Structure 1
Amino acid sequence: MRTVRKSWTTYTLGVAAMAALLLSTACDSGGTDNGKSPTASGTPGATGSPTPSGTPSASGTDPAGGGGTASPSRSQGGGSTGVAACNDNDLAIDTSGWRQDSGQHLLITATNFTDKACTLYHYPYVRFGTEIGAPFGAAESKPQAVATIGPKEKAYAGVFLFKAGQQTWTATSFSLGYQDRALNSNKDVAPLDIRLSDEVGSLSVGPSPWVTYWNTDLRAVEDFLFRSGKS
């Protein structure tokens, strides 16, 4: 807001003029800006979270700021307001590989077969065969946004199985668990046993497999698996 200032008229009559001048000087010295109005700092408007590119796309909602009506957006790690975490009852799981691959990688595809959106947080808990220990870890492959998938939409996670020359063992099934909003949550929840697809059949598993984060962009998963230098 601009400051309204009053100007004093200088009188030319002896002492009265001097008194008026002194009074004018005193008033001016008490000002805050010497003629410059203060600049008000505006409140920054809310901006939407980035949305990943690629197919298939995912939908979700996030509050776009501290007040007003929420607008659709998704943010990494933030989740989607009003959208529950996905669980076994929401998803159909399929497994596949890649042509011209030496069997070192596995693709896990999760399809939402319900009529409501859900969110796949962080990365899946994966164990192979009859393992009952802790699931193996994830590579730093965080996507631009959490994987919120609507009806019939898909999300993907890639698994690196072994390095050339490593000793391996054969697995024909695996188990899958899902996290909630908090990272590393739900580790005590019993995972779902899943049979590998006929296309895959069985897997050779090395001593230190790892998994990517969930991502709605299949190409991003493939890029990380084959071009990250971590395979």
Structure 2
Amino acid sequence: MSARTTRTRLLAASTVALAALALSACDNGQGVRDEGPSAASKSSAQPTGSSSTGGSAAGSTSKPARSTGGTTGGTDGGTTAGGSGGASGGTSGSSGKTSGGSTGDGKAGGSTRNAACNGSNTKTTATEVARPLNHMLLTVTNTGSKNCDLTGYPVARFGEAQAVPPVAEETHPQAVVTLAPGESGYAGVRLSAADGSGGNGYTAKTLVVGFDKGASARPALPAKGVYVDDKLLLTYWQQSLDDALTY
């Protein structure tokens, strides 16, 4: 084989080897590759691809669905039910107040709401009685159109006396004396000691009866007047005539 032929073959082999090395370097990332339209196609396809479009459509669809569900559920379930519950509670509370007020207004509730009996809505009379001895009965009759409460005891002033007689505490009634229209309440008056042991006696021809509240009354006494001494004593107002004259 000639030297020229040998050189030719070596040159060809070297060229092939260099080409192989170049291709190998490109495959390992060390060379520069022309990605050309393939990379650009991938890059431009990403924003307009089916994945992006599908995500936008899904988001648009799911958000209104969640918003609509929340609004509808909140209005129909929460607000309406809550409003009904509040209205029901308010009605129940109002009913309780009304019921409690009605009970409190009655005598059974222990509350006294009637007007006070006094000289403006009653008529008062003073009558001497045969028994007990030296006693007088005060009678107060409701002349109004509504019930009135006769509380306490009569504040009686006989004649020109500067002081009013005491009351027998043991005669305090168990309940308030309430007079319906036309009904009467009573109080007993011991004018003087039956055995004559009282002192500072005098004859009174006028009487003023005071009440817990309101105007006084001036019942007429017998023309001859009544004799009183320092044993003068009164009872509390009573519902019963017998209770007023028992003491």
Q: Check conservation: 1:74, 1:145, Cα contact below 8 A.
A: no
Residue 219 of structure 2, aligned match among 189, 194, 197? 194
Which protein has the bigger strand share?
A: 1
C-alpha spacing 1:193/1:115, structure 2 compared with 1 (3 Å): same
Deviations 1:33-59 (A, max 9, x none): xxxxxxxxxxxxxxxxxxxxxxxxxxx
RMSD: 2.5
Alpha-carbon distance between aligned partners in 2 of 1:160 and 1:128, rounded to the nearest angstrom: 12
User: How many percent of aligned residue pairs carry the same amino acid?
Assistant: 31
**Count of residue pairs brought into register by the alignment:** 144
Which amino acid in the other structure matches residue 113 of structure 1? T
Matches within 5 A, 1:206-221: 206-221=229-244
Which amino acid in the other structure matches residue 196 of structure 1? L
Q: So what's the TM-score if we normalise by structure 1?
A: 0.55
Q: Which runs of 5+ in 1 are unaligned?
A: 1-65, 181-185, 226-231
C-alpha spacing 1:193/1:221, structure 2 compared with 1 (3 Å): closer
Say yes or no: does 1:152 pair with 2:182. yes
C-alpha spacing 1:173/1:68, structure 2 compared with 1 (3 Å): closer
Deviations 1:107-145 (A, max 9, x none): 0000011111111111010010122x3322111111121
Which amino acid in the other structure matches residue 162 of structure 1? S
Residue 166 of structure 2, aligned match among 137, 140, 151? 137
Higher RCO structure (Cα 8 Å, ≥6 apart): 1
The Cα shift of 1:197 comes to 4.7
Say yes or no: does 1:107 pair with 2:107. no
1:119 counterpart SS class = strand
Matches within 5 A, 1:1-231: 67=100, 69-70=102-103, 72-73=106-107, 80-81=112-113, 83-102=114-133, 104-131=134-161, 133-140=162-169, 141-163=171-193, 164-165=195-196, 166-167=198-199, 168-180=201-213, 191-197=216-222, 201-223=224-246, 225=247
The Cα shift of 1:173 comes to 1.6
**Aligned match of 1:37:** none
Deviations 1:14-43 (A, max 9, x none): xxxxxxxxxxxxxxxxxxxxxxxxxxxxxx
The Cα shift of 1:92 comes to 0.8
Q: Check conservation: 1:176, 1:194, Cα contact below 8 A.
A: yes
CA radius of gyration, larger in: 2
Q: Check conservation: 2:210, 2:217, Cα contact below 8 A.
A: yes
Which amino acid in the other structure matches residue 139 of structure 1? A
Q: Which runs of 4+ in 1 moved over 4 A?
A: none
